[in-house]
Amino acid sequence: MATTDKASPRDRLLDAAAQLFYRDGVSIGVEALCRSAGVSKRSMYQLFESKDEMLAASLERRRAWYEAQLTPPDTGSATPRERILHVFRRLEQASAAPDYRGCPYLAVLVELKDTEHPASAVAREVKDHLESDFRTQAERGGARDPRLLARQLMLVFDGASARAGARIESLADGLATGTVTALMDAAGMK
Q: The domain that contains 148 carries what CATH number? A: 1.10.357.10
In Å, how far are 73, 76, 172, 173, 182 from 178, measured between CA atoms? Answer: 22, 24, 11, 9, 6
What is the per-residue pLDDT across 26-39, written as a single tens digit (0 to 9) for each? 999 999 999 999 99
Q: Are residues 83 and 153 in the same domain?
A: yes
Of 113, 115, 87, 111, whose CA–CA distance to 101 is shortest? 111
90-102: average pLDDT? 97
Q: Are residues 163 and 114 in the same domain?
A: yes
Q: Are 76 and 179 in contact (CB under 8 A)?
A: no
Q: Is 102 helix (H, G, I), strand (E, B) or coil?
A: coil
How would you classify residue 117: left for phi > 0, otherwise alpha for psi between -120 and 50, otherwise beta?
Answer: beta
Q: Does residue 61 form part of some domain?
A: no
Q: Count the alpha carbons within 13 Å of 3 in the hemisphere toward its beta carbon.
A: 22
Q: Does residue 58 form part of some domain?
A: no
* 56 CA to centre of own chain: 13
What is the per-residue pLDDT across 62-85, written as a single tens digit (0 to 9) for each? 999 999 999 998 878 899 999 999
Q: Does residue 164 form part of some domain?
A: yes
Q: Residue 5: its pLDDT value, please?
A: 54
Q: Residue 81: its pLDDT value, please?
A: 97
What's the rounded Cα separation, in Å, for the pair 38 and 8? Answer: 11
* pTM of the predicted model over 0.75: yes
What's the rounded Cα separation, in Å, for the pair 138 and 84? Answer: 9
Name the burial class of residue 58, with classes exposed (0-12), middle (13-18) and buried (19+) by CB atoms within 10 angstroms of its CB.
Answer: buried
Q: Are residues 89 and 177 in the same domain?
A: yes
What's the rounded Cα separation, in Å, for the pair 97 and 91? Answer: 10
Q: Are residues 76 and 143 in the same domain?
A: yes
Q: How far apart are the first and last CA of the chain?
A: 40
What is the per-residue pLDDT across 146-185, written as a single tens digit (0 to 9) for each? 999 999 999 999 999 999 999 999 999 999 999 999 999 9
pLDDT > 90? residue 4: no
Q: Are residues 172 and 141 in the same domain?
A: yes
Percent of the chain at pLDDT exceeding 70: 97
What's the rounded Cα separation, in Å, for the pair 96 and 90? Answer: 10
What is the per-residue pLDDT across 43-52, written as a single tens digit (0 to 9) for each? 999 999 999 9
Q: Residue 1: its pLDDT value, please?
A: 46
